[in-house]
Amino acid sequence: MASSPASPPLSVVPDAYGRFGKFGGRYVPETLSAALDQLERSYAEAVADPTFAAELDSLLSAFVGRPTPLLFAKRLTKLAGGAQIWLKREDLSHTGAHKINNTLGQGLLAIRMGKRRIIAETGAGQHGVATATACARFGLECVVYMGAEDVRRQAPNVRNMRLMGAEVRPVESGSRTLRDAINEAMRDWMGSVETTHYIIGSVVGPHPFPRIVRDFQSVIGRETIEMSRKQFGRLPDTVVACVGGGSNAAGMFYPFVDHPGVRLVGVEAGGRSGDPGHHAASLSYGSPGILHGSLSYVLQDADGQTADVHSVSAGLDYPGVGPEHSYWHDMGRVEYTSVTDLEALDAFDMVARHEGILPALETSHALAWAAREAATRSPDEIIVVCLSGRGDKDAAEIARLRGLTADGSHPS
Amino acid sequence: MTSATTAKPIDKLEAMFAANRAAGRKVLAPFVTAGDPDLDATVDVLTTIAEAGASLCELGVPYSDPIADGPVIQASYTRALDKGLTLEGVFSAAKQASDRTSMPILAMASYSLVFRRGIDRFVADAVAVGLAGFVVPDLPIEESDDLDAACRQAGLALVRLVTPTTPPDRAEAIAKKSTGFLYCVSVAGVTGARTQLPDGLVDRIRWLKTKTDVPILVGFGISSPDQVKAVCEVADGAIVGSALVRRVAEHAGQPREAMLTGVRRFVTDLAAACR
């Protein structure tokens, strides 16, 4: 029993109905209800089973390469001219992003449930690659839905998924981006739910997905806490991560939410401007609504139709956000802000040239904010950035946007 | 407060079922997408299907992200929204149709739209335009207490769905909550015509009939008079969606009368299978 009548710690969510405060829940067609109940039961059993954690930990170590390092960004810090910037190197994970933490966990759950076919959606392709990777490792059939626009702008990841035996199905409906890929994956699942597990890639969707994905990604924040203590003897002052659906941010922030001294900042895609249709910043500009099975902040019109969104980054190009982020937003625990396409592209260049790291365009949003913020802070302060993924996938698209030739040189 | 003698929207629905039962007939319930190709056409389609023998209509309220719908209904929603369809427009078309026909009309609407407008306002609007109730395909029983209470208060039907993946005890709980009728989804999957009805459907309907007194209508995948006939052997009626939406769409760009003639012919054949 709780010893104090005061409100419970912020980390004690969700409740039995998948609620984070008022957000979350399960708004899905009845066809999916039984599978979500099964997933919830199976996850509870897995959490209680030490062999599950042991198997996942062993994979995270030998297959993914965890723990990922916490690196002092020396030249970036000098360039910014203020607080120390440290980078949590999720880009060094196998497959080049944090997404693999979740796909291995959910892949093991699928096996426990006796489901041998996996479907997934992907935006930037990082989750698709991580799903294809887990499926290859476990011997599971894999189908990935990807918006046709994203198939074009993230071509290297499409190739990698196919090389690992996954089927990539381009989605031509709607805006041909992440949102439509989720719709199509859900529709597949409506007809295949008895034999198929849907590995959702972010902390979105119906209960219990937001909780499961957060838990599998929380290894990021746990390692960051441990390494911070070891490497600089205390917790960081500020922790920052980019937020589309919000999985790397949720995994980074969750272990920190009950440490009130640590400032947490989520950076959304500010796109071209704050005008409707020109950004993908759900928490900055949206309102509570229901999308893809849960109640959260959504970019929508007066009737509740989902709005069109834009971001240079395919992984942030999404009109919703995970319900736990909406909860943290409304509780005032995490600050959410946004960074424009151009600021993110500049941050990409800056980190590439000063640190020798090509960050993903998604991550570049968090880096842009960190560099700007560091300049206003004292050198005693420490900012940790979740460097959620590597940017090789973006190199060709960045060259195209910059008017460079395919080999990165200026056209003569 | 509503007194016991005041007519409620759901009365119209219950009277329709009673009349069909007395006449030894089953119920044909077509699905029509609001605003496809435009709202005037929708009003004409609703009156036409009523004349052609439809007993009930599900008026599909277009939503941007309908995950329970197959390609035909999705495309109709996209066409309607691309032309600037609003909820105000849908309600006003429903009002015109319910002024012109006594056929009960239910709104098939995503809970995303209901939540955004606010339950009380959505329910009040529905009552004001003469709707008999709602089917909310993405609202499972765990999340439906608020809308359920508002519908009961307003006398609107809140039709629930059971599917092939619903376990028996859950199906029983859903059937108990359903008002107006119970929507039995024939297949695990999205909406859209299928060539064959699934095995075991008849047994499922028979079992459901032992669990509820409300009529049972079967939908998803039903597109032909033969399928309607087969379903009506055991169920109280059939819902036909994508097949009719496709017929409306096939007449895009043609004169309104040609489209209505096609609709009338199709629905007449389906309705004959309910007799």
Question: Quick one: pLDDT at residue B231?
Answer: 96
Q: Output the average pLDDT for chain A.
A: 96
Question: Quick one: pLDDT at residue A403?
Answer: 87
- Nearest-Cα distance to chain A for B161, in Å, is 7
Question: Quick one: pLDDT at residue A5?
Answer: 59
ipTM of the complex: 0.96
Task: Enumerate residues 6+ apart whose C-beta is below 8 A from A229.
Answer: A235
**B174 and chain A: CB distance < 8 Å anywhere?**
yes
* pLDDT per position as a tens digit, A345-367: 999 999 999 999 999 999 999 99
Q: Which of B14, B36, B44, B69 is catalytic?
A: B69
Look at A290 and B167 and tell me if their CB atoms are within 8 Å.
Answer: no
* pLDDT per position as a tens digit, A4-54: 557 789 999 999 999 999 999 999 999 999 999 999 999 999 999 999 999
Task: Compute the distance between CA of residue B241 and CA of residue B13 in angstroms, rounded to an integer.
Answer: 19
Query: Would you call A222 exposed, middle or buried from its count of C-beta atoms within 10 A (0-12, 13-18, 19+)?
Result: middle
Question: Quick one: pLDDT at residue A174?
Answer: 84
- Nearest-Cα distance to chain A for B22, in Å, is 32
Q: Which residue of B61, B63, B65 to mutate against A (max A Cβ within 10 Å)?
A: B65
Segment B192-214 shows an average pLDDT of 93
Q: Percent of chain A beyond pLDDT 70?
A: 98
The model's pTM is 0.97
**B18 and chain A: CB distance < 8 Å anywhere?**
no
Q: Determine the residue of chain B that is closest to A288 in CA distance.
A: B116
- Nearest-Cα distance to chain A for B58, in Å, is 17
Task: Compute the distance between CA of residue A370 and CA of residue A346 in angstroms, rounded to an integer.
Answer: 13
Find tokens 């329709």 and name the residue. Answer: B16
Q: Is A390 left (phi over 0), alpha (psi -120 to 50) or beta?
A: beta
Look at B81 and A26 and tell me if their CB atoms are within 8 Å.
Answer: no
- Nearest-Cα distance to chain B for A348, in Å, is 33
Q: Percent of chain B beyond pLDDT 90?
A: 94
Integer-rounded Cα Rg, in Å, for chain A is 20
Segment A300-324 shows an average pLDDT of 96
Single out the residue of B236, B270, B265, B240 nearest to residue B27, CA to CA: B236
Segment B4-27 shows an average pLDDT of 92
Look at B140 and A27 and tell me if their CB atoms are within 8 Å.
Answer: yes
Look at B165 and A33 and tell me if their CB atoms are within 8 Å.
Answer: yes
Segment A306-314 shows an average pLDDT of 95
Q: Which of B14, B58, B125, B236 is catalytic?
A: B58
- Report the side by side order of strands in the sheet with A117-122: A167-171, A141-147, A117-122, A196-198
Sort out which chain B residues have CB atoms less than 8 A from A173's CB and list them.
Answer: 74, 78
* pLDDT per position as a tens digit, A110-132: 999 999 999 999 999 999 999 99
Task: Enumerate residues 6+ apart whose C-beta is below 8 A from B20.
Answer: B26, B27, B55, B236, B237
Find tokens 């107006």 and name the residue. Answer: B180
Look at A29 and B68 and tell me if their CB atoms are within 8 Å.
Answer: yes
Q: Which of A99, A223, A282, A324 is catalytic?
A: A99
Sign of the dihedral through C-alpha A391, A393, A398, A399 = positive
CB A135 within 8 A of CB A196: no
Segment A214-238 shows an average pLDDT of 98
Query: Which helix (H) or strand (E) covers residue A72, if one does?
Result: strand A70-72
Sort out which chain A residues have CB atoms less than 8 A from B68's CB and list them.
Answer: 29, 31, 187, 190
Task: Compute the distance between CA of residue A106 and CA of residue A116 in angstroms, rounded to an integer.
Answer: 12
Which domains does chain B possess?
26-159+232-267 (3.20.20.70)
Partner-chain residue, chosen from A28, A34, A295, that has the shortest CB–CB distance to B166: A34
pLDDT at A384 over 60: yes
* Count of H-run helices and E-run strands, chain A: 16, 14
Q: Hey, what are A275's tokens?
A: 């005008």
**Inter-residue long-range contacts of A364-367, CB under 8 Å, 24+ positions, other chains counted:** A364/A242, A364/A313, A364/A391, A365/A242, A365/A267, A365/A268, A365/A269, A365/A270, A365/A313, A365/A316, A365/A338, A365/A339, A366/A240, A366/A241, A366/A242, A366/A267, A366/A339
Sort out which chain B residues have CB atoms less than 8 A from A31's CB and list them.
Answer: 68, 163-165, 185, 188-189
Sort out which chain A residues have CB atoms less than 8 A from B142's CB and list them.
Answer: 17, 26
Question: Quick one: pLDDT at residue B1?
Answer: 47
